Every structure is written in structure tokens, then in C-alpha cells.
């Protein structure tokens, strides 16, 4: 699959745990023979933490070259350290793909009840983090390179109780479009991916909190969620990985500045 990706390098942020979308993307790209850099907050990169497991799994299953990298997207110094690491690793070759996947969703509250600190923290990871990464990594990109930013269905449709998250993801969509029009003439593409409901820690804590609010068992909330999706299944991390692999392949060479929904048909729009 996508033979042209073999040997090329990709960095994926927020990819240090096996249950997350970042790892799902990494698994598909490792299968394509890419050199993978998994980056995540330093705590998850400590010895014996889940980052080590992720790297080992990809090496064993796909024989991939995999590196684990500490990265906090809220800290400019950390982002610059990561860029310096990538420069050494690629030894002057361009970075083929930068996948800005790191993101958080804090607990639900109405706008009046949302602490200002929750708003600021969400913006700092989800939106400012993507901006820091794009501006710092652009010198490592060249004609043919691709940026994928992880937005959300919530960035297109308001999710009641999650205003910081929805607004941050709407910002990611527009930031991606701004980048595409600024850098298209240099041959760098940028697209946003909008997952719907993908089973990860982030999504399952959302189901758990909604089940508590509705006073129903977690399993019942899960079943409601499944039935709300036209394809009648909750998405997997591989569903997102397969879309990302296509978007960074030659098959997508005329696609830039777009958003791609991966949601089982839940978001159907003109
Ligand atoms: P997750 O919570 O399982 O994984 C997020 C990862 O981001 C974690 O490994 C975490 O350590 C990392 N991270 C958090 N703060 C960071 C920071 N400051 N610097 C670097 N890494 C940081 O979440 P999931 O579900 O895998 O989400 C991945 C992306 O997909 C996020 O941007 C999320 O908003 C987005 N998304 C997820 C959906 C879902 O249904 N799971 C739906 C729509 C969007």
C-alpha cells in the first residue's frame, strides 16, 4: 500500500499510547514502510512508560524504524528541541509528513461554568500547539511534504458543553486552510481530518461522563452512540490511520486546504 511512502519520515504528535489515534496512524504508516517518530508529552516517554511499548510494538510487527520523542506542544522550547532532533534524524532530507494529532478535551460544562483555565489550556494544546508546530517545522518541509492537522466533527458542529474544544478545532480547520493557501506555491500541502466518534481514552471518558449525567449504564450510552452513526459502528483508530495514509500519499497530490470527515456518515453535509 502506497509504496511511494517507503523510507520516508513522518512525525506524529500525541502518539505515545497504544489506544490513541496517533498510534493508529503510526501503525498504518509503519505498514507502508515509513520511518516513524512518535512524539508525546515527556511523562509518557519516561522509561518503561507507554511510549516504549508503542515503539516496540511497531518494530516487532512491521520491522519499522521507530523513534520515541518527548514533545510538549504547549512549550516552544520543547517544540524547537523536537525540530532539532528531526533535523539530525533526516540529515538534510525533507520531512515528508507532519501529523499534528495531540489534543485534549476537558470535562463538559456550559460556557458560564467553564473555568477560564480550561478554556486557556484547551486552546494552548489544541490550537496554539498546532500553530507552534507548523511555524517551527516549516523549515524542515519542502516540495512534496504534507501537514495533517487533527480537527474534529466538533469543529464544524457545536458540541453542547464542549465550547473550548469545539472552538479550538474550528480554529485548527481555518489554520490549516490559511497554511494551504500560503504554502501551496512551495508544493507543501496541508489538510485537516475531522474524526467523528473514534474509540479511544478521550472518547470513552466522554461517554462515561455522559452516562453519569443521564444516569444510565456506560454500555447503554455506548449503544446509543453506535445507533447515532449511519454505519452503526463506533470508529477505530485504524479508520483514521487509513485516511491519513491516503492523504500523505501521491494519490492525494492535488488535495490541499480541505477537511475530511471520518465519522461513519454522522456528519453529512453539502
Ligand atoms: P487521546 O487522549 O487518546 O490521545 C491524545 C494524545 O495527545 C495523548 O497521547 C496525550 O498524551 C497527547 N497530548 C496531550 N497533550 C499534549 C501536549 N501538550 N503535547 C504533546 N502531546 C500531548 O485522544 P485521541 O482520541 O487519540 O485523540 C487524538 C486527536 O484526535 C486529538 O486531537 C483529538 O481532539 C482528536 N479527535 C478525537 C476524536 C475521538 O473520537 N477520539 C474525535 C475527534 C477528534
Reply yes or no on whether 165 is catalytic.
Answer: yes
Per-residue pLDDT at 48:
45
Pocket lined around ligand 1, Cβ cut-off 6 Å: 13-14, 16-17, 19-22, 40-41, 44, 71-74, 101-105, 125, 129, 150, 152, 195, 197-198, 200-203
Condensed to tens digits (0 to 9), the pLDDT of residues 49-81 reads 799 999 999 999 999 999 999 999 999 999 999
pLDDT at 92 over 90: no
> pLDDT class for 3, splitting at 50, 70, 90?
very high
Which one of the listed residues 2, 162, 165, 179 is annotated catalytic?
165
Per-residue pLDDT at 39:
97
Which atom, in ligand 1's list, is nearest to the CA of 196?
Answer: 42
User: To the nearest whole percent, how much of the chain has pLDDT over 90?
Assistant: 94
Q: What is the 3-state secondary structure (H, E, C) of the chain?
A: CCHHHCCCEEEEECCCCCCCHHHHHHHHHHHCCCEEEEEECHHHHCCCCHHHHHHHHHHHHHCCCEEEEECCCCCHHHHHHHHHHHHHHHCCCCCCEEEECCCCCCCCCCCCCCCHHHHHHHHHHHHHHHHHHHHHHHHHCCCCCEEEEECCHHHCCCCCCCHHHHHHHHHHHHHHHHHHHHHHHHCCEEEEEEECCECCHHHHHHHHHHHHHHCCCHHHHHHHHHHCCCCCCCECHHHHHHHHHHHCCHHHCCCCCCEEEECCCCCCCC
Q: Which domains does the chain have, with CATH numbers?
A: 3-198+236-262 (3.40.50.720), 199-234 (no CATH)
Amino acid at each position: 500500500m502506497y509504496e511511494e511512502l517507503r523510507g520516508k519520515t513522518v512525525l506524529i504528535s500525541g502518539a505515545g499510547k497504544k489506544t490513541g489515534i496517533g498510534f493508529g496512524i503510526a501503525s498504518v504508516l509503519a505498514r507502508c514502510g515509513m520511518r516513524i517518530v512518535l512524539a508525546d508529552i515527556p511523562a509518557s516517554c519516561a522509561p518503561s512508560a507507554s511510549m516504549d511499548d508503542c515503539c516496540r510494538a511497531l518494530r516487532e510487527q512491521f520491522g519499522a524504524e521507530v523513534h520515541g520523542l518527548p514533545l510538549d506542544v504547549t512549550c516552544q522550547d520543547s517544540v524547537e528541541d523536537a525540530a532539532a532532533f528531526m533535523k539530525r534524524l533526516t540529515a538534510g532530507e525533507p520531512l515528508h509528513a507532519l501529523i499534528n494529532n495531540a489534543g485534549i478535551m476537558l470535562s463538559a460544562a456550559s460556557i458560564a461554568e467553564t473555568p477560564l483555565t480550561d478554556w486557556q489550556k484547551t486552546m494552548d494544546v489544541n490550537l496554539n500547539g498546532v500553530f507552534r508546530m507548523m511555524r517551527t517545522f516549516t523549515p524542515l518541509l519542502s516540495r512534496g511534504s504534507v501537514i495533517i492537522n487533527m480537527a474534529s466533527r466538533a469543529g464544524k458542529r457545536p458540541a453542547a458543553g464542549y465550547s473550548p474544544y469545539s472552538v479550538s478545532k474550528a480554529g485548527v480547520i481555518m489554520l490549516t486552510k490559511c497554511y494551504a493557501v500560503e504554502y501551496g506555491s512551495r508544493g507543501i500541502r496541508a489538510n485537516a481530518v475531522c474524526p467523528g466518534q473514534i474509540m479511544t481514552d478521550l472518547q470513552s471518558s466522554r461517554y462515561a461522563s455522559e452516562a453519569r449525567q443521564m444516569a444510565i449504564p456506560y454500555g447503554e450510552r455506548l449503544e446509543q452512540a453506535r445507533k447515532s452513526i449511519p454505519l452503526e459502528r463506533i470508529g477505530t483508530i485504524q479508520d483514521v490511520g487509513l485516511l491519513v495514509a491516503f492523504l500523505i500519499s501521491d494519490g492525494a497530490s492535488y488535495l490541499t486546504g480541505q477537511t475530511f470527515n471520518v465519522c461513519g456518515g454522522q456528519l453529512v453535509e453539502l
